[in-house]
Structure 1
Amino acid sequence: MELTLNLNARLQPMHRHILEDKLQEILEKEKLGEVTGGGTLQSSKGGEIVSCDIEIHLNNSSLNNIDRLAELTNQLGIPKGSALLSTESKIKVGTLEGLAYYSNGTELTDEVYENCDINHVIEQMETAMEGIGRFYSYWEADEWTALYFYGTSFFEMKKRIEPFITSYPLCQKSRIEQIA
């Protein structure tokens, strides 16, 4: 049986591959099937990542195996709004909420861009979110750099990073959106 795990996740292909590898290990261990491919959907406006798919071949299409696969995907750490799709059904999966942080790439002073580092932003946000969320992927464009975090609570992640955002110069004129 062929299934598609449609991820409500903004993952670059290299980050989606990490998830594919983890899923493949689980499928092999459980003798359920294998990952057969995947893809990333980008928006036609600006090219930002919208969602991802992981194609799965399930060895046995019994309801127990499909339910087990749904249970295992939730253990991987995937966002709410994701689904296991087949020609006959759609099973909602995902337990995590998503936070997109958009760093302004054009409206700050040259000094800020020269003296601040987006990697420092990622490190500080991950530290602040420890135990409830983590960094999954990013997207870069001329005007914005988006950092994608997923965790147990959008509001808690946002609350924890706000003190850093208000104090670090590179975080001026940024914006935050809930994405899952």
Structure 2
Amino acid sequence: MSTTPVAINVKLNARLQPEHRLQLFEDPLEAMLEAAGIGEIMGGGTALTEEGEVEYGDLEIQLHDATALPTVIELLEQLGAPKGSLIQREGEPDVSFGITEGLGLYLNGTDLPDEVYEQCDSNYVFDQIVERIGGHGEVCSWWQGPSETALYLYGASFETLRERIAELVATYPLCQGARVIKIA
């Protein structure tokens, strides 16, 4: 029985800077694919919005044959691939997968009183979020745009993440007017 190589594109529904995509998905997946002997990563990319925010990430994978596709999905889900991620293959329908949910916390970077920016620290917000969501998720990436700074949290439940940071968002001055949105 001969095998035919199959090219797939993994569209990760994750707002990750390229270095975070590499660290969280590309490098570990490459090692897993190699260990299983089923394929290799040929490249990756990042799609950006007009404002320069990450919209999603791509991984181009060459599989030794199509029978490895379910294994690739299983490996990506072990790594925490967000819901709404897709396997794309020429001539085939997209295959949706993913297990984690995402929360984007967008801090207002321009409209708060000057003293808030002078007296508050986004690193404090980051540290407090890490502490509050411990065991339920993690801050996987961030983005600083022209008028907002976003922190991207991923975990088993958007609602749990939202609830665990709600008090901080409601009380810390730098979080005034912050947007909390479901991103996966």
Q: Per the shorter chain, which TM-score range? A: over 0.9
Q: Name the CA distance, whole Å, in 2 between partners of 1:56 and 1:120.
A: 38
Aligned counterpart for 2:146 among listed residues 130, 142, 147 = 142
* 1:79 alignment counterpart: 82
Q: Name the CA distance, whole Å, in 2 between partners of 1:137 and 1:32.
A: 29
Q: Name the CA distance, whole Å, in 1 between partners of 2:127 and 2:81.
A: 21
**Cα deviations across residues 105-151 of structure 1 (Å, max 9, x unaligned)?**
01112221122211211111121111111111111112101111111
Give percent identity, aligned residues only: 44
Aligned residue pair count: 177
Is the 8 Å Cα contact of residues 28 and 34 (structure 1) preserved in structure 2? yes
Q: Name the CA distance, whole Å, in 2 between partners of 1:60 and 1:141.
A: 41
Aligned counterpart for 2:109 among listed residues 105, 108, 125 = 105
- For normalisation by structure 2, the TM-score amounts to 0.92
- Correspondence 1:50 to 2:55: yes
- Correspondence 1:17 to 2:22: yes
Q: Name the CA distance, whole Å, in 1 between partners of 2:54 and 2:102.
A: 14
User: Counterpart of 2:134 in 1: which secondary structure?
Assistant: coil
**Cα deviations across residues 81-106 of structure 1 (Å, max 9, x unaligned)?**
00111112422111011100000001
Aligned counterpart for 1:163 among listed residues 167, 170, 173 = 167
The 5 A counterparts of 1:60-99 are 60-62=65-67, 65-87=68-90, 88-99=92-103
Q: Name the CA distance, whole Å, in 2 between partners of 1:36 and 1:112.
A: 46
* 2:40 alignment counterpart: 34
Q: Name the CA distance, whole Å, in 2 between partners of 1:123 and 1:94.
A: 27
Q: Name the CA distance, whole Å, in 2 between partners of 1:166 and 1:141.
A: 22
Q: Name the CA distance, whole Å, in 2 between partners of 1:72 and 1:99.
A: 22
Q: Name the CA distance, whole Å, in 2 between partners of 1:83 and 1:31.
A: 22
Show structure 1 runs of 5+ residues with no match.
Answer: none
- Correspondence 1:5 to 2:10: yes
Letter in 2 for 1:118: S
Is the 8 Å Cα contact of residues 41 and 49 (structure 1) preserved in structure 2? yes
* 2:3 alignment counterpart: none
